[in-house]
């Protein structure tokens, strides 16, 4: 089969196929893919923890590991619990959200030996400061998912609306 290279690393395979294959800097076919939104949302919902990023007024990005659940209405719920010790009653992530309601939640899959299995999903979030009608259902989901939360030991639930989801996977 004839392959013709184009500027930018594209190649047209075959004289009339019209198929375009991207190649990486080393000449290997680039099979990386952007995840479809429904696939990205499914991966987000299936994970049990991620990194919540809020905006600190002085430091910029403030990233902390969190557990969470996602509901069918497009909310992510991050608990503020009484299970783990806290340095302060109001967490920095809460103070950050009060100043700037933008946040992101990053989840990923890492495989040290097989990089074809790598993927990540980033959810853009907005905090509105008011618990919605879904709070009871979200608390129940957290209690169902995490045994440490069976008795719903929550001081607060941070409900954040998903406004966009993007993701990437090393292979299709």
pTM for this one? 0.79
> Which residue segments constitute the domains of the chain, with CATH numbers given?
1-30 (no CATH), 33-169 (2.30.110.10)
Phi-psi region of 136 (alpha: psi -120 to 50; beta: other; left: phi over 0): alpha
Beta-bridged to residue 166, according to DSSP, are 122
Report the pLDDT value the prediction gives residue 31, as an integer from 0 to 100: 57
**Cα–Cα dist 166/34, whole Å:** 8
Question: What pLDDT band is residue 24 in, cutting at 50, 70 and 90?
Answer: low
Higher-pLDDT residue of 26 and 171 is 171
- pLDDT tens figures, 115-171: 999 999 999 999 988 777 888 899 999 999 999 999 999 999 999 999 999 999 998
Q: Look up tokens 């930018």; give the residue.
A: 8
Per-residue pLDDT tens digits for 66-107: 999 999 999 999 999 888 877 877 899 999 999 999 999 999
Confidence of residue 14 (pLDDT cuts 50, 70, 90): very low
Q: Measured on CA atoms in the order 55, 56, 57, 58, is the torsion positive or negative?
A: negative
Q: How many helices (H) and strands (E) does the chain have?
A: 3, 11
Write the CB contacts of 74 (distance below 8 Å, at least 6 apart in sequence): 161, 162
Give me the residue label for tokens 């069976």: 150
Please give the radius of gyration of the chain, using alpha carbons only, rounded to the nearest integer.
21
């Amino acid at each position: 089969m004839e392959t013709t290279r184009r500027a930018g690393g594209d190649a047209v395979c075959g004289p009339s196929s019209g198929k375009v294959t991207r190649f990486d800097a080393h000449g290997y076919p680039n099979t990386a893919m952007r995840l479809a939104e429904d696939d990205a949302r499914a991966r987000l919902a299936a994970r049990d923890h991620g990194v919540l990023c809020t905006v600190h007024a002085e430091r910029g990005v403030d990233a902390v590991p969190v557990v969470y659940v996602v509901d069918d209405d497009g909310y992510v719920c991050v608990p503020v619990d009484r299970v783990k010790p806290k340095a302060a009653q109001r967490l920095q992530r809460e103070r950050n959200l009060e100043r700037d309601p933008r946040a992101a939640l990053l989840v990923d899959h890492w495989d040290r030996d097989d990089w074809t299995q790598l993927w990540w999903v980033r959810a853009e979030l907005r905090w509105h400061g008011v618990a919605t009608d879904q709070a009871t259902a979200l608390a129940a989901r957290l209690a169902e998912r995490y045994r440490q939360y069976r008795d719903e030991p929550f001081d607060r639930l941070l409900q954040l609306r998903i406004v966009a989801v993007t993701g990437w996977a090393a292979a299709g």
